[in-house]
Structure 1
Amino acid sequence: MFSVLVCDDSSVARKQVAKCLPQDWHVSVHFAKHGREALNQLDQGKGDLLLLDLNMPILDGYETLQAINDLNLNTKVIVISGDIQPEANERVRKLGAIDFIKKPVNGEILRETLVKHNLMAGEENQEIEPESLDQDIRDCYQEITNIAMGRAGDHLARIMDVFVKLPIPNVNLIEVSELHMMLSDIETHERVTAVCQGFLGAGVSGEALCILSDSSFSDVARILKVTEEVDDQIQLEMVMDAASILIGTCLTALGEQMDLHFSQGHPVVLGQHQSVNDLIALNKVKWRRTLAIEISYGLEGYNVHCDLILLFTEESMTTMNSKLAHLLEDD
C-alpha cells in the first residue's frame, strides 16, 4: 500500500494535514515529530510521500531534505510550511522537494498538488496510524504562531531583500520573573532598544514587545543603504520600522486564524541602549502573569537579531482558547 509520512513538530499540524488528505485515497498514514524521526521511518519503508514542515527541533526541514539526498532515500517530498518567503520555496526545490504548500494546509490545494504529481490512486479511505487525541492547547498557540511568524518573515524579507531565518516559536504561560528566561539568545551584557505596542480585540488584549540588539544597527543600516551617520534617532526609526512590520503582520495573521480583529495602539519606546534585565525591571508591574509568545528573527549573512514577544493577559486566554477549540475537534 502507498504510504504517506507527515512530519511536523506540532501535533495539531500533523492532525490537520492528515484530515486534509483526500478521503478517496487508499494510503497508510504515519507521523514524525522531527526530521530525525522521519528519516528513521523512511529507512523502514514508511513514506513513499513525505509531507514535511520546515521549522522543527532536532532536524529541521532543510536538513531533512539534505539527508534524504545524502542517504539516497526513495521518497517524494512536498513541503508544507508557514515560511512563505520566495527563497524558502526556491531552496527546498533545489534540495529536491517536488512542491511547496503554505500553511494552514487547504484540502483542495493538497488534492490538486497530489494530482499534479500523479500521486493519487483514487480508491478507498486512508488508514491512519493512531495519533494521540489528548491535544495540548499550547500546541495550538504554537501552530498559529508558526503561520503568523512565516507571514511576518516573508513581509520583512521582501522589504529588505534578505533571507529571514525563522525559529521555532516559544509559547509559555509565565510570571514576569520568568520573562528574562525567554531572552536567553541575548547575552546579558547586550544592549538593546525596545518598542512596545498595545493591542485589543474582542475579549483579548495584550502588548507586543519588539527588541533589537544594538549590535544589529550597523548591518541594518547597510541593508537599507543608509548613508548618513547612524545616530540614536536613526536607530530608533529602524526599531520602529521593524516593530511596525513584525507586530502588524503577526497580529493580522493571528487574528485571521482566530476570527478576531486587533486594533493597535501607538508604539511606545520602552528603552534605548538598555540591558535586557533593566528593561524587564522597569516594566515588571505592567506585565505580571501573561501568555507569552516569543519569536527570534535573524537575517542570514548579517549580524542582526530581533526578538518579537507577544504578551496576552491571562484573562484573554478564555476567549482565545474558545477560538482555537476547532483545531482540536475531529471532522
Structure 2
Amino acid sequence: MTISVLICDDSAMARKQMARTLPKEWDVEITYATNGAEGLDAIRAGKGEVVFLDLNMPVMDGYEVLQTVQQNDLPALIIVVSGDIQIKAHERVKALGALDFIQKPVSADAISNILQEYGILTLTQKDQVEDTPMIKVDMRDACQEIANVAMGRAADLLAKLLDVFVLLPIPNVNVLEVSELTMALKATEESSTVSALCQGFIGAGVAGEALLLFHDSSFQDMAKLMGVANPEDKQTEIEVLIDTGNVLIGAFLNGISEQLDMKFSQAHPVVLGRHCTVNDLIHDNSEKWHRTLAMEINYRIENHNIQCDLLLLFTEDSIPTLSYKLGYLLD
C-alpha cells in the first residue's frame, strides 16, 4: 500500500537530501511544500500521512504547523527534521505532538531507524527503483541550508551555556558588492548603537571574516546570564562581547567545516568599535570589505533583551571552492 509522504522545508537542498535518504524500497508518493502553509494544505488534501517537517520557514513555521495539526486533529504523523538542535526545541515539538526529531543534515540510517521504531516502514519489492525527482538547487539555496545547520549548532551551544532558548531566524545569504553589504549592515540597525567584533578565518581555498554586531542594550542582560559580577563595568562589556563571539563564531564555523569536510583556522578576535552607529562602523572599515558572499543570522534570546547579528563574509575568491564543495555534497 502506497503511503503519502510530505517533505515540508523551505530549502530545495534540504528537500532533495531528505528525498534521497528515504529507504529505496519504501512504497511512497512524495509531495513537497516550501513553507508551513503549503504543508498544511497538502495534509488537508490527504498528501501527508507521514510528514518530514522543518522548523524555520517563512509564512508559517514548523511550530505553527504542529500546533494547527494538534488543534484540528489532522491525520498526519509528523517527524521534525531541523538544524535547531536545542534541547528545548526537542521538548517543544514533542509537546506539540511530533512523533520524533531528526537533526540536520539527515542520514539514511536515522530515518530508517525512526520509521522502523514506529512501525511506519513497510518495504515492498519494486521492479525498478525510481530516481529522486529533479529538484533544482542553486548556490544561494545550498549556502543557506549550510548556514541553517551551522546556526543551529551555535545556538545549541549558547543555549546550553546560558540555560536559555535561542530564537532562530531564516538565514539570509547573498553575494553582495561592498555597497550592498553596507545596506545589509544598516538594515540590522534596530538600536541606536552597537559594539562590533571581527574575527578572520581561513581554510583550503576559503577565507573571510566573521563579524558580530552586539546591540548595546543587550550587554547588561547578557552579563547577568553569564554570571559576571559587575555588569555595568566597561571591561565587562568587552569580555561579554569576546565571549559571545567565541561561542557563536567558533560553533558556526565548526558547523560549516563539518558539513563541507574542511578545517578553518581562526585569527584572534578584534574589537572594531564600541557604542557606535552601524554607519560609523561601516565608514571606518569599508575599505577591507569587497565583493563577498555574506551569511547573516540574527540571534535573539527568548524572554531577555538580548540581540546580536552574526555575519560571515567570505571573499570573492572563496566562491569557486565553496561551489565545488557544495556540488560534491549534493552529488
TM interval, shorter chain, is over 0.9
* Contact 1:28-1:129 within 8 A present in 2 as well: no
SS in 1 for 2:184: helix
Q: In structure 2, do the counterparts of structure 1 residues 43 and 128 end up closer, same or farther at CA, with 3 Å as the change threshold? A: farther
One-letter amino acid of the structure 2 residue matched with residue 249 of structure 1: A
Q: Is the 8 A contact 2:219 2:231 kept in 1?
A: no
1:77-122 CA-to-partner distances (Å, cap 9, x unmatched) read 0000010100000000000001000000000110000000110111
Deviates more, 1:221-230 or 1:190-199: 221-230
Aligned partner of 1:274 among 269, 273, 276: 276
Secondary structure class of the residue paired with 2:102: strand
Aligned partner (choices 205, 208, 214) of residue 207 of structure 2? 205
- Deviation for aligned residue 1:127: 8.8
| SS in structure 2 of the partner of residue 118 of structure 1 | coil
Superposed counterparts of 1:109-258, under 5 Å: 109-124=110-125, 131-183=133-185, 184-187=187-190, 190-258=192-260
| Partners of 2:195 and 2:273 within 8 A in 1 | yes
1:154 maps to a residue whose letter is D
Provide Cα deviations, 1:162-221, integer angstroms capped at 9, x if missing partner. 00011100000001212243342422x521111100000011110000111000012112
Q: What is the TM-score when the length of structure 2 is the normalising length?
A: 0.95
Corresponding letter in the other structure for 1:86: I
Structure 1 counterpart of 2:304 = 302
Moved more, 89-98 or 126-135: 126-135
Q: Is the contact made by 1:295 and 1:309 (CA closer than 8 Å) also made in structure 2? A: yes
Q: Determine if contact 2:25/2:129 at 8 Å carries over to the other structure.
A: no
Preserved CA contact (<8 Å) 1:30 1:129: no
1:179 touches 1:280 (CA, 8 Å); kept in 2? no
Give the 3 Å change call, closer, same or farther, for CA 122–97 of structure 1 in structure 2: same
C-alpha RMSD of the superposition: 1.6
Q: Aligned letter for 2:294?
A: A
Distance 1:304 1:160 in 2: 12
Q: Which moved more, 1:229-238 or 1:166-175?
A: 229-238
AA at the equivalent of 2:184: M
TM-score (norm 1): 0.95
| SS of the residue 1:295 aligns to | strand
Give the match's secondary structure for 2:254: helix
| Matched position secondary structure for 1:302 | coil
CA contact (8 A) 1:156 1:245 kept: yes
Q: Which runs of 5+ in 1 are unaligned?
A: none
What is the rounded CA distance, in whole Å, between the counterparts of 2:125 and 2:34 in structure 1? 27
How do 1:68-107 residues align onto structure 2 when only pairs under 5 Å count? 68-107=69-108
Separation (CA, whole Å) in 1 of partners of 2:209 and 2:231: 32
How many percent of aligned residue pairs carry the same amino acid?
50
Task: Confirm or deny: 8 A CA contact 2:260 2:329 kept in the other structure.
Answer: no
1:52 and 2:70 matched: no
DSSP 3-state at the match of 2:120: coil
Task: Give distance in 2, aligned partners of 1:129 and 1:69.
Answer: 34
Partner deviation per Cα, 1:139-181 (whole Å, 9 max, x = no partner): 1101111111100000000001100011100000001212243
Higher alpha-carbon deviation: 214-223 or 242-251? 214-223
Aligned equivalents of 1:185, 1:32: Cα separation in 2: 29
Distance 2:125 2:184 in 1: 47
Structure-2 separation of matches of 1:157 and 1:71: 32
Question: Mind listing any 5+ residue stretches in structure 2 that lack a counterpart?
Answer: none
How far apart, in 1, do the equivalents of 2:231 and 2:55 lie?
39
Which residue of 284, 287, 312 maps to 2:286? 284
Deviates more, 1:132-141 or 1:278-287: 132-141
- SS of aligned partner of 1:228: coil
Q: Distance in 1 between matches of 2:121 and 2:132?
A: 22
The CA deviation string for residues 258-301 of structure 1, in whole angstroms up to 9 with x for no partner, is 12100000111100001011111111110111000001100000
Q: In the alignment, does 2:64 pair up with 1:43?
A: no
Partner Cα separation in structure 2 for residue 12 and residue 245 of structure 1:
27
Partner of 1:10: 11
In structure 2, the CA distance between the partners of 1:180 and 1:76, relative to structure 1 (3 Å rule), is same
State the distance in 1 between where 2:112 and 2:158 align: 31
Task: For residue 4 of structure 1, give the secondary structure of its aligned residue in structure 2.
Answer: strand
CA displacement, residues 41-95 of structure 1 (integer Å, 9 cap, x when unaligned): 1110001011000111111111111111122211010000010100000000000
Q: Which amino acid aligns with 2:74?
A: L
Instruction: After TM superposition, give the deviation of residue 38 of structure 1 in Å.
Output: 0.2
* Separation in structure 1 between the aligned mates of residue 251 and residue 62 of structure 2, nearest angstrom: 24
